[in-house]
Amino acid sequence: MNPLGDEWAISHRAEACAVTGRPFAEGEEFYTLLFREGEGFRRQDLSEEAWAQRNDNLQPFSFWRSRFEPPPAAPPEPLPKENAEELFRRLVTAADGKNANACYVLAAMLERKKILKQIQTESSENGPVLIYEHVKSGDVFIVPDPQLRLDELEPVQNEVVALMAKLDGLHAASGEQD
DSSP code per residue over 65-107: EEE--PPPPPPPPSS-HHHHHHHHHHHHH-TT-TTHHHHHHHH
DSSP code, position 24:
P
- The pLDDT mean for the chain works out to 80
- The average pLDDT across 64-87 equals 77
pTM above 0.85, yes or no: no
Nearest to 144 by CA among 112, 102, 113, 116: 102
DSSP code, position 151:
G
pLDDT tens-digit readout, 110-147: 998 999 999 888 888 888 888 898 888 888 888 888 88
Greatest mean pLDDT among 17-21, 103-107, 145-149: 17-21
